[in-house]
Structure 1
Amino acid sequence: MTTSVRRPCVLLSVLLGLSLGCATARPQAASAPLETSAPLVAQEADAVFTGHRFQDGTVLPEVRIHYATLGTPRRGASGAVTNAVLLLHWTSASGDVLRSKPFQDALFAPGRPLDATKYFLIFPDSVGHGRSSKPSDGLRTRFPAYGYRDMVELQHQLVTQTLGIRRLHAIVGLSMGGMNAWQWSELYPDAVEGVMPIVSLPTRIAGRNLLWRRFVSGQIRNDPEWKDGLYTAPPRGWLEAFPVFRMMLDGVPHLQAALPDAQAADAFIATARAQAAGMDANDVLYSLESSRDYDPEGALGDIQARVFALNFSDDEFNPISLRTLETLMPKVKRGRFVVQEGSASSFGHFTQAHPELWAEQVAAFLKFLEEG
C-alpha cells in the first residue's frame, strides 16, 4: 500500500560531495558549450509503504521513500508511460545531488541527453539515504539491516505502485546506483528497456573495494565512542576513517596534481574530517554494509535489457587492470561498455559527480537504446 504527498521544489545547486562494444575513450565535454539555464522545477513527494518486510525478516510498520520527478509522463497507444528514466544515486548521497546545477546543465537542460522536456525523470532517495527511512530517524541500530536487494525492491514498488509505470525506458545509476541498475535488469527483466551502470561492476564486491568498506565499518564499530550506535557526537573512529574514505574516491593523477605538499594534504584531511562531522555514522555504516548481498554475475546471461556500462580508467575501486568488464560483458546478450580514460583533470571514481565529463556517453547510451 502506498500514500503520496507531492510538493514543488526549485532545483538549486548543492555540494557534489558525499552527503556523502568494448572501447576506451578520453574524457569528453558535452558537444555544445554548457550554458547557465533557469532552474528546473521538480515535484517532490514521499511514498509510504506499510508493513514492508526486509530481506533480514524485519517488518517495519511504515517505510518512507522520498523521491522527486522532473518532466511529464508521455503515454503510448496502450496508455503506458513510455519516457520514464530512473536515476539512482551513490552511497551516502541522495537524489538531491543528481538534481544539482551541474547535473541539470550537463544532462537535463533543453537539448541535453536527458532533456527534461522529453523524458520523465525519477530521482528516489534509496532506503537508508536522504529523506527516506534510515537509522538516524530514531531506530539507530534497531533499523533493519537492509541490503541492495531491499533498495531495489522498494525502488520497484515506487515506480510500479506509486507512479504506475510498468516499464522504464532506462535506468542511469552511479556507483551504488549502478549496482542497483545491474540488479534491476536481473530481478525485473521486463520492467526496463535499458540500463546504464556507471562506475560499478557486475560482480560481487571484493579486493580493494571490500577492504575499504571493512576498514571504515571497523573504525566505526570498534570505536568505544560509537556506544553500539547510541553515540551523542560523531565517533572519532569515523572522523579518522573518512579522509581515507574520501581519498579512495579520487583519482591518482588528480591527487598527485592537487596535493603537491604537506600543507595541501593537511587541508584535504581537515576538510574531510569536517565533512564527516556532518554525516551520521550509523547511516554510513548501514549504507556501506548493505552491499553484502550484491552479486549479479551468475545471472548476466538472463538480462533482456540493453546494457551500456561506463567506467573510468583512474577509478581505484574498479581497477581496469582486473579486466572485469572485458571478461563479463560478453555474457550480456545486448551489452556494450566504455572505459573512459582518466587524467589530472578527472576525479577517479568521483568523476561520477562531474557529469560534464561523461554526458556524451549518456547520449551514446540513449542512441544504443534507439537501435532496438
Structure 2
Amino acid sequence: MIAFLRCRFWACVFPLALAFTIFCVTGHTEAASITRSADVASLASLKVYHSIPNFRLGGSYNLDDESSYEFGGQGGTTLESLGQQPLQIGYIAVGKPKKNDRGEIVNAVVINCHYSGGSTSMYNFWYDGQPGNDFSQGAVVGPGKLIDTNEYFVVFVDALGLWGTAKPSAGLGLKFPQYSNFDLVQASYRVLKDELNVAEVQLATGVSMGGTQTYTWGVLHPDYVKAIMPIGGTTQSDGEDPVQAWLFQLMTAAMKSDPVWRETKGDYYDLPKAKHPNRGVAFGWSILGHTGFTFDFRASQPWDQLKQEVFYWDPKGEESAAQMKKAEAFDAIDLIYRNNAGSVFNINKELHRITARTLVIHVKTDLWLNYQLAEAAVAKIDGARLLGFSSPIAHYAVFQAPNLLNNDIKAFMEGKTWVAAAAESAGTPVKAEKTKGAFSK
C-alpha cells in the first residue's frame, strides 16, 4: 500500500512534478509566465476557454433575487475596469448532448474542481483511460461508466483563480479583486449558459472544494440544478469550522513568512519565478500535508519518504523535495486569494434554499473537513441523504468515493429508493424500480 501511494499519490493526486511549462491554448495566452495553464500539463490542449465580459468579482449576492447576480455580485469589480481582459474560465466537455426543442442541452453533468486542481486534474482522475484512474480505483466518467457519456453531456470546469483561468498571478497580483466562492460557481454557470447553451443541469458534483461548489450550485440555482452530490465538501470554512479555519490560516501565514514576501510586501512579480516566495509556498503546502492522511497511516510511512513533504528552510538532499516541486508550480498570491475566499464562506443559513435531490458523501476519517459538520449540513437540506466511509488516506479518498459507493450513487442518479440502494450495496437482489422514493422531492 505504501509503495503504491508513493508512486501514485504524488504522480496523480498532485501532478505537479511535471516540468514547469507554460502552454499557449487556443484563444488564450497568459499575461505572465508564472504558473501553468493546466494543472495536468499533458492535457492542456483539451481545454477550451470562455470569456465572460463585465463579470463582477467580490460583490454581494442577494439570494432572494437570482437576476441580481447573473454576472456576479452587486458592487463587485470587473477585470475590464482594471485594464484587463474579461474574466476567462477553462473547461473540458465530453459526452453526447441531448437537446430540447429550442436547441438547449438538457442532460448536462457539471464536475467542479478541487482546491489545487482544475478541469484537467478531474479529467485525469475520473475520465476513462487516464493515468489517474488507478488512484481513483477506476474510471468514473466515460462510455458505460457511472457517469455515462452515452447518456450525459459532462463538463469538467475550472475554478477561477488558478491555472489557465483569470488569476492574480496573470498580471494584477494583489490588485486582483478578492473573489468569493459564490463567484467561482457563478462564473461556471455563465460557461454552461452562454458558451454551451445548457438549459438545466441533471447533476452537479465534485470533490473537496468541488464538493463545496456543489452545495453552492444548489443554493444559487435551485431551479437550474436537478440533483447535487457534494463529495467531501463543506458548507462553511469560516470560524464555524475552527479546525479548517485554523489550518488554512496557518498555510496563509506560512506563505507570508517567506523573507521575499516580507521584503516585497507581496509585490514580487518583477522578480524571476525562482526568486518568488517559493519557500513560503512550500511551507504552506507542508502544513496542509501534515493532516492530509490519517495519523495511523502517516506513522506507517518511512521517514526517508516523509521528509520529502516536511518543510525545511534550508533543505538538504531530498528534504522538502515534494513541496518545492509544488512551489515551482503554484503562486503564493493565487493560493492566498483562494484561502481568503474560504475564510468568509458560510451558507449554513441558506441550505433550506436547496431543492435539488441531494446525496452528500463524506470521509469519516477526514482530518481537514469534519464528518460531524457534514451531518449537520445534511440535516438542514430537505430530503438529503448522507453516505460516509472511512479510509486511511483520509480526505484524499474523495477521488475514490464514486467507485467505493458505486451502487448507491447509481441508484441516486436513477432515482431509486434508498432502501433499494442499500440492499444492492449489501449484495441483496432487489427489483430495480425507478420511483419518487427517499431521494426524490
TM-score, with structure 2 as normaliser: 0.70
The code of the aligned residue for 1:16 comes to V
Further displaced range: 281-290 or 225-234: 225-234
Query: CA offset at residue 78 of structure 1?
Result: 6.2
Whether the 8 Å contact between 1:88 and 1:124 is mirrored in structure 2 is yes
- Aligned to 1:237, the other structure's residue is in SS state helix
Corresponding residue to 2:360 among 309, 334, 337: 309
1:230-274 CA-partner distances (Å, limit 9, x unpaired): 3332422222222121222223333232x1x43232133324322
1:330 alignment partner in structure 2: 379
1:365 alignment partner in structure 2: 412
Whether the 8 Å contact between 1:47 and 1:64 is mirrored in structure 2 is yes
Query: CA offset at residue 171 of structure 1?
Result: 0.4
Corresponding residue to 2:309 among 262, 265, 268: 268
The code of the aligned residue for 2:242 comes to G
Q: Equivalents in 2 of 1:134, 1:358: separation in Å?
A: 35
Whether the 8 Å contact between 1:89 and 1:174 is mirrored in structure 2 is yes
The code of the aligned residue for 2:258 comes to D
Pair 1:280-2:327 in alignment = no
1:97–1:147 Cα change, 3 Å: same
2:420 alignment partner in structure 1: none
Query: CA offset at residue 331 of structure 1?
Result: 2.3
- Aligned to 2:206, the other structure's residue is in SS state strand
Further displaced range: 362-371 or 230-239: 362-371
The code of the aligned residue for 2:303 comes to A
TM-score, with structure 1 as normaliser: 0.82
Alignment map for 1:247-262 (pairs within 5 Å): 247-257=290-300, 259=301, 261-262=302-303
1:335–1:267 Cα change, 3 Å: same
The code of the aligned residue for 1:311 comes to H
State which structure, 1 or 2, has the greater radius of gyration over its C-alpha atoms.
2
Query: CA offset at residue 314 of structure 1?
Result: 1.4
Pair 1:156-2:202 in alignment = no
Q: Equivalents in 1 of 2:382, 2:102: separation in Å?
A: 28
Query: CA offset at residue 103 of structure 1?
Result: 4.3
Identity percentage of aligned residues? 22
Give the number of equivalent residue pairs.
Answer: 333
Structure 2: runs of 5 or more not aligned: 1-10, 18-42, 60-75, 81-85, 129-137, 311-319, 417-433
1:280-313 CA-partner distances (Å, limit 9, x unpaired): 1111111121113321111222211011110011
Whether the 8 Å contact between 1:149 and 1:183 is mirrored in structure 2 is yes
| Structure with more of its chain in strand, by fraction | 1
1:36 alignment partner in structure 2: none
* Relative contact order, higher structure (CA 8 A, sep 6+): 1
Corresponding residue to 1:166 among 177, 199, 203: 199
The code of the aligned residue for 2:410 comes to A
Corresponding residue to 1:52 among 46, 52, 55: 55
1:355–1:336 Cα change, 3 Å: closer
1:145–1:18 Cα change, 3 Å: farther
- Aligned to 2:362, the other structure's residue is in SS state strand
- Aligned to 2:198, the other structure's residue is in SS state coil
